[in-house]
Amino acid sequence: MIEPDCIFCQILSGERHSIRVAESPLSVAFMDIQPVNPGHTLIVPRRHVPSFTDFTVPEVSDLMMTAQEVARGLRSVFPDHDGITLSLSDGASAGQEVPHAHLHVIPRQRADGFGWRRFGSKTDRETLEQLGQRIRAGIAGAS
C-alpha cells in the first residue's frame, strides 16, 4: 500500500529522487538528505507502515538484516568511525517526523557531538519490578 502524501512512499515509487544504497523485497535503504554524519542512511519498509508496532514479523526481520548490511558497509567506508547508532522513533512524541516507520543507521565517532542524553534517574528495584510486571502483562494482553 502506498500513501500518495507520504514522502517516503513518493521516494519508493520513484516520484521523488533518492540515493539508494541497499534494497530487499521488503525494504529500501537510502541516504538521509539531512544527515547527522556523512553516510547517515534511512531504511524504510516498502509497505506504508506508520508505526513500528504495525510491522509484520518478516518486515522486522528484513529491516534489521538490511540495517546490519548497511552498518557493515558504513564501517568499511568510514574505518575511522568507531560506532553505529540505530534509531527508530515511533510516534510524534518520540520524534517521528515522517509517518512512515523508518530506521536511521548513523556512523559515529566519539567526538561527533551527536548522542543520547540520559535524563532519567536511578530507580529502585521494587519500582522496576512493578513496572516490569505491568509491561509483561501488557505484552501478554497484546499478543
Residue 130 lies in a domain: no
Residue 54 contacts residue 114 (beta carbons within 8 Å): no
Residue 47 lies in a domain: yes
Residue 1 lies in a domain: no
| Domain ranges, residue 31 | 7-116
Residue 134 lies in a domain: no
CATH number reported for the structural domain that contains residue 95 in this entry: 3.30.428.10
Query: Looking at residue 11, what is its pLDDT?
Result: 97
Successive 10-residue mean pLDDT values, the chain, 143 residues = 90 96 96 94 96 96 97 94 94 94 94 72 88 92 77
Could you give the strand order of the β-sheet that contains 83-87, starting from the edge strand earlier in sequence? 20-23, 27-31, 41-45, 103-108, 83-87
> Which residue among 48, 81, 102, 104 is the active-site one?
102
Number of domains forming the structure of the chain: 1
Instruction: Note if 102 is an active site residue.
Output: yes
Query: Looking at residue 37, what is its pLDDT?
Result: 92
Residue 135 lies in a domain: no
